[in-house]
């Protein structure tokens, strides 16, 4: 049996918990098995440690048809009995997956139209799972170093204030509004033709990356867009980049660049 200490109203309680893996055939001393390689397919929120999968102990609230808002304790997994019926997930600042944990939605959430994670002290975001072509919000995730592949049918992506993100895996081909602002981007993936609202301000983009974004938007041939490349950390464009910005302005874009 293992021991867990819990503090409630300044009182310390000690509970005996069975060690995972204890029993016949367990390693000597009742040591738990190594952490699982990834979240269960029907899990929303994954701690990334050897902990029992639980279905209670959470505050789960409805937020529209099939929607849930999560608030849990460290290193726990919320298992949903009918994940395909869940249309939106919001993991807000009330929850905490722990500084060594993960947050995301498993592959069984085939009806998911929205996934949002805000202010979580996690080190990993796993599969985003949005399959119904709507929105992903990732805000203030200051310990993650990578964004997983963004599903190609996602229409709106907003990534803000994720201070260790230096690159992105992709921009979805169906996306019309894409934001990765106040991060640490040094490169930008190819911008698909449908993107007409692009927010890349306050990153660490060098002049070559700024020029490439401007040239990409011109080559896409779309009019009436909005492009933010200004802000702290981003370089000013070259003369060629300034010319491309003027071309975009001439076809109805609003363009913000550093001088």
pLDDT attached to residue 24: 33
Residues 145 and 85 reside in one and the same domain: yes
Question: In which band, very low, low, confident or very high, does the pLDDT at 101 lie, cut at 50, 70 and 90?
Answer: low
Helical ranges in 175-221 per DSSP H: 207-220
pLDDT attached to residue 121: 73
Residues 6+ apart with CB under 8 A from 121: 96, 97, 98, 99, 101, 142, 143
Residues 82 and 135 reside in one and the same domain: yes
Residues 121 and 175 reside in one and the same domain: no
Residue 180 or 119, more confident: 180
**pLDDT tens readout for residues 112-160:** 888 888 887 777 787 776 777 789 999 998 889 999 999 888 999 999 9
d(CA 13, CA 8): 8
- pTM of the entire structure? 0.77
Question: In which band, very low, low, confident or very high, does the pLDDT at 47 lie, cut at 50, 70 and 90?
Answer: low
pLDDT, averaged across the chain: 75
Residue position matching structure tokens 């190594």: 34
Residue 25 or 90, more confident: 90
Residues 6+ apart with CB under 8 A from 141: 117, 119, 120, 122, 125, 162
Residue 28 lies in a domain: no
Residue 19 lies in a domain: no
CA atoms within 13 A on the CB side of 78: 29
Of 130-134, 151-155, 200-204, 227-231, least confident by mean pLDDT is 130-134
Domain boundary among 164, 191, 218: 164
Answer whether residue 64 shows pLDDT above 90.
Answer: no
Of 131-135, 213-217, 255-259, least confident by mean pLDDT is 131-135
CB-based burial label for 224 (10 Å; 0-12, 13-18, 19+): exposed
d(CA 31, CA 49): 14
Residues 160 and 191 reside in one and the same domain: no
The count of domains in the chain is 2
Residues 181 and 225 reside in one and the same domain: yes
Answer whether residue 231 shows pLDDT above 70.
Answer: yes
Structural domain span for residue 160: 42-164
Decide the pairing of beta strands 67-71 and 102-103: unpaired
Strands (E), 119-221: 124-125, 135-139, 156-160, 177-181, 197-199
Decide the pairing of beta strands 11-17 and 2-8: antiparallel
The percent of the chain in helix, strand and coil, each rounded to the nearest 5, is 10, 25, 65
């Amino acid at each position: 049996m293992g021991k867990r200490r819990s503090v409630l109203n300044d009182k310390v309680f000690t509970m005996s918990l069975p060690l995972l893996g204890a029993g016949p055939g367990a390693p000597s001393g009742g040591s738990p098995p190594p952490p699982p390689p990834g979240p269960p397919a029907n899990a929303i929120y994954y701690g990334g440690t050897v902990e029992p999968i639980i279905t209670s102990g959470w505050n789960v609230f409805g937020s529209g048809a099939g929607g849930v808002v999560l608030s849990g304790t460290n290193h726990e997994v919320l298992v949903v009995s009918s994940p395909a019926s869940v249309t939106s997930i919001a993991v807000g600042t009330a929850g905490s997956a722990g500084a060594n944990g993960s947050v995301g939605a498993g592959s069984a959430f085939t009806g998911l139209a929205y996934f949002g994670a805000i202010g979580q002290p996690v080190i990993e975001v796993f599969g985003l799972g949005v399959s119904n072509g709507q929105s992903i919000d990732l805000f203030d995730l200051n310990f993650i170093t990578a964004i997983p592949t963004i599903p190609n049918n996602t229409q709106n992506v907003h990534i803000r204030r994720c201070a260790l993100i230096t690159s992105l895996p992709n921009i979805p081909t169906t996306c019309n509004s894409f934001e990765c602002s106040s991060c640490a981007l040094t490169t930008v993936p190819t911008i698909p033709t449908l993107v007409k609202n692009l927010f890349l301000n306050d990153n660490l983009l060098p002049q070559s990356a700024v020029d490439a974004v401007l040239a990409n938007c011109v080559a896409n041939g779309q009019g009436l867009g909005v492009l933010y490349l200004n802000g702290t950390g981003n370089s000013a464009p070259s003369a060629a980049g300034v010319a491309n910005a003027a071309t975009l302005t001439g076809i109805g874009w609003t363009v913000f660049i550093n001088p």
